[in-house]
Structure 1
Amino acid sequence: MDEEPSLRERKKRETRQRISDIATGLFAERGFDAVTVTEVARAAGVSAMTVFNYFPRKEDLFLDRIPQAVELLAGAVRDRAPGESPLTALRGLALRLLAERHPLGGVGETFAPFWRVVVDSPALRARAREGVEEAERALAAALAESGAPGPDLLAALVVAAYRTVFAASVRRLMTGDALEEVARDHRTALETAFTALERTGLDAP
Structure 2
Amino acid sequence: MSLREEKKRQMRQQLSDTATRMFVERGFDGVRVAEVARACGVSEKTVFNYFPTKEALLLDRLEGTATALREALASTGQAPIEAALRLLDAELDGFAGDPEGYRRFGELLEAAPSLRAYRNDMMDRFVAVAAEALAARAGVDPADPEPQITAAALLGLWRVQYESLRRRPGDPATVRAEVRRAADVLRIGLDEESGPRAAAD
Verify same fold: TM over 0.5. Answer: yes
Q: Which residue of 1 aligns with 2:181?
A: 192
Give the C-alpha shift of residue 162 in structure 1.
2.4
Paired residues in the alignment total 184
CA distance in 2, matches of 1:10, 1:185: 37
CA distance in 1, matches of 2:139, 2:79: 9
Q: Is the 8 A contact 1:102 1:108 kept in 2?
A: no
Give the C-alpha shift of residue 111 in structure 1.
0.5
CA distance in 2, matches of 1:57, 1:116: 20
CA distance in 2, matches of 1:61, 1:83: 34
CA distance in 2, matches of 1:86, 1:134: 17
Q: Which residue of 2 aligns with 1:127?
A: 118
Give the C-alpha shift of residue 148 in structure 1.
7.6
Letter in 1 for 2:51: F
TM-score, normalised with respect to structure 2: 0.83
1:47-126 matched pairs, under 5 angstroms: 47-78=43-74, 80=75, 83-98=77-92, 101-103=93-95, 108-126=99-117
Give the C-alpha shift of residue 13 in structure 1.
0.9
Richer in helix (by share): 2
Deviation track 1:77-103 (CA, whole Å, cap 9, x = no partner) reads 12x3x54222222222222332xx224
Letter in 2 for 1:138: V
Deviation track 1:14-37 (CA, whole Å, cap 9, x = no partner) reads 100001111111111111101111
Give the C-alpha shift of residue 8 in structure 1.
1.5
C-alpha root-mean-square deviation of aligned residues, in Å? 2.1
CA distance in 2, matches of 1:20, 1:165: 23
Matched residues, percent identical? 37
> Any gaps of 5 or more consecutive residues in structure 2?
141-145, 190-201
TM-score, normalised with respect to structure 1: 0.82
CA gap 1:155/1:68 in 2 versus in 1, 3 angstroms: same
Q: Which residue of 1 aligns with 2:152?
A: 156
Letter in 1 for 2:177: T
Q: Is the 8 A contact 1:24 1:62 kept in 2?
A: yes
CA distance in 1, matches of 2:55, 2:91: 23
CA distance in 2, matches of 1:54, 1:10: 14
CA distance in 1, matches of 2:32, 2:77: 50
Letter in 2 for 1:142: A
Deviation track 1:144-199 (CA, whole Å, cap 9, x = no partner) reads 111187111011011113212321321333xxxxx1xx211111112222222233
Letter in 1 for 2:113: P
